[in-house]
Amino acid sequence: MSFDYDLFVIGGGSGGVRAARVAAGDAGAKVALAEEDRYGGTCVIRGCVPKKLMVFASGYSVAMQDAREYGWDVTPGGFDWPRFRTRMEAELDRLEGVYRRLLANSGVETYDARATVQDAHTVRLATGETRTARHILVATGGHPVRPDIPGADLGITSNDIFHLPELPERILIVGGGYIACEFAGVLNGMGVEVTQYYRGAQILRGFDDEARGLIATEMMQNGISLKTGTNILEMHGEDGGGIRVKATNGDMERFDQVLFATGRDPNTAGLGLEAAGVTLGRRGEIEVDAYSQTAVPSIYAIGDVTDRVNLTPVAIREGMAFVETVFKGNPTPVDHDLIPSAVFTQPEMGTVGMTEEEASAREPIEVYCTSFKPMQSSFIDRPDRVLMKLVVSKETRRVLGCHIVAPGAGEMIQLAGIAVKMGATKEDFDRTVAVHPTMSEEIVTMKSPVRTA
């Protein structure tokens, strides 16, 4: 059977674009890609990139205060949100252009239209055209969801936060995951009065307990009103503007905005996948094997739409493994073990490997941990604390987990992640000479465990 393309990719995010251009450029395949919105996907357009720019912007409020304490004659002014937003939007436009050029230069044919799956080898475009392909790769990502409560339509999601015409004076953030906590810190740093509700006992569920406990403490110390064990019962719009929120703890408060960061679902609705024979999970995620292959042999899926590890670099790795498997004759399973990651809260967290809780449930461990005031904060009597933590196997001495809460933790964990991925032992860390004076030197100078489990 003759096909229009060797590969048709649905979705122009980081994973889909990487798979498309490598399949076309390196493997010589005839490739097409369809994207119904903007190229770059969640990460570039409404996720990692604009969020990190907002993290940078929000950090200058504290930096200016610190500069005065360090002897600089600094007079802080107000934060100009429209000016920042205009520059941020220009940067996102530039990056989208880069993505488009990468595809064009690799010989990928692009369609600016929604694409759905008609059958195992056919894609239907919103324009009414159909195209056939030997292989179809679904890389449609995910989207934020609103909770099922009265008045939820009055709130916004992380997709909307970058496009606000002006910053609110008071905002309620609902959720306790990394997106909620990151935006709480960002908006607080930009001068917004932030309240955060989370229904659980502690924010950042799934991360190391000690690390997330320190982050919660620091967030509250920075002025965020964090209320755990709390959720919204109902919301009502007010005549003069704003939203009246009734909470499960009895609070009744008015906010200018309510931001829901209560989870994300895969973008599979209306794609025709189930009719084509693809199996979906409970939340709509595409079920795939270790090679990203679905129940239909010619259809594969990568990235957040599979709900495996929802991180941009993971989607890119999955796309590369797909190309190796399908177009280069080198079957390559996706490696989801020991993935370093960062949470851009204030302070940041970097983590790789198992938490103390996960490791202790599996085997006997030693925990090496220290929390202290870093030199930069101590000098000006700021109360900020950082944390360095290693979780070590008693039997093998391997470092099973590394957790850092500190400014620049994301940069630190990238390098620590290499050592942990290689199987470094605690003694390997001990043999490494410290870089002084740094915060991270504590990672190689902790000699005695603080506890065993």
pLDDT of residue 188: 98
Edge-to-edge, what's the strand order for the sheet holding 257-260? 156-157, 257-260, 170-174, 193-198, 225-228
Q: What is the per-residue pLDDT for 278?
A: 98
pLDDT of 75 higher than 90:
no
What percent of the chain stands above pLDDT 70? 100
Task: Let me know: does 327 contact 21? Beta carbons within 8 Å.
Answer: no
Would 391 be classed as within a structural domain?
A: yes
pLDDT at position 76 is 82
Residue 298 has pLDDT above 90, yes or no: yes
Angle ∠(314,320,324) on CA atoms, nearest 5: 140
What pLDDT, on the 0 to 100 scale, is given for residue 55?
Answer: 98
Which sequence positions are flagged as catalytic?
A: 436
- Asked if residue 335 is part of any domain, the answer here is no
Per-residue pLDDT band for 404 (boundaries 50, 70, 90) equals very high
203 and 257, same domain (yes or no): yes
Q: In the numeric block, which tokens belong to residue 296?
A: 């239909």
Please indicate, yes or no, if residue 389 is contained in any of the structural domains.
Answer: yes
DSSP bridge partners of 116: 124
**Residue 276 shares a structural domain with residue 129:** yes
Same domain, 365 and 428: yes
Tell me the pLDDT band of 441, cut-offs 50, 70 and 90: very high
Does 172 map to a domain?
Answer: yes
Judged on CB neighbours under 10 Å (0-12, 13-18, 19+), 204 is: buried
Range of the domain at 380: 341-452
**Closest to 257 in 3D by CA, of 186, 156, 160:** 156
Instruction: Identify whether 30 is part of a domain.
Output: yes
User: Tell me, what DSSP letter sits at residue 280?
Assistant: B
CATH code at position 88: 3.50.50.60
> Does one domain contain both 89 and 203?
no
Q: Is residue 333 part of a domain?
A: no
Instruction: Using the predicted structure, report yes or no on whether residue 240 has a pLDDT greater than 90.
Output: no
Indicate whether 64 pLDDT > 90. yes
Please enumerate in sequence order all residues whose Cβ is within 8 A of that of 19, keeping only pairs 6 or more positions apart, or say none: 7, 9, 137, 139, 302, 319, 320, 322, 323
pLDDT for residue 119: 98
**Same-domain pairing of 243 and 319:** no
> Which of left, alpha, beta for 379 (phi over 0: left; psi -120 to 50: alpha)?
alpha
What's the chain's average pLDDT? 97
| pLDDT given at position 429 | 98
Q: Are residues 134 and 11 in the same domain?
A: yes
Return the pLDDT at 244.
97
Same domain, 117 and 257: no
pLDDT of residue 108: 98
Question: Quick check: 199 and 327 in contact, CB under 8 A?
Answer: no
Domain-embedded: residue 336: no
> What is the number of structural domains in the chain?
3
Question: Does 136 lie in the same domain as 11?
Answer: yes
Residue 397 shares a structural domain with residue 377: yes
Residues 128 and 12 in one domain: yes
Rounded Cα distance between 69 and 73, Å, is 9
Is the model's pLDDT at 421 over the cut of 90?
yes
Is the domain of 276 the same as that of 312? yes
Smallest CA-to-CA distance from 368 within 342, 397, 345, 408 is with 397
CATH of the domain at 351: 3.30.390.30
Checking if the pLDDT of 173 tops 90, the result is yes
pLDDT for 1: 81
**244 and 213, same structural domain?**
yes
Indicate the SS3 state at residue 252: strand
Residue pair 36/10 in contact by the 8 Å Cβ criterion: no
**What pLDDT band is residue 277 in, cutting at 50, 70 and 90?**
very high
* 197: in domain: yes
Alpha-carbon distance of 112 to 46, in angstroms, equals: 18
The answer on pLDDT for 450 being more than 90 is: yes
Spell out the residues 6+ positions from residue 5 whose beta carbon is closer than 8 angstroms to its own: 29, 30, 31, 32, 109, 131, 132, 133, 134
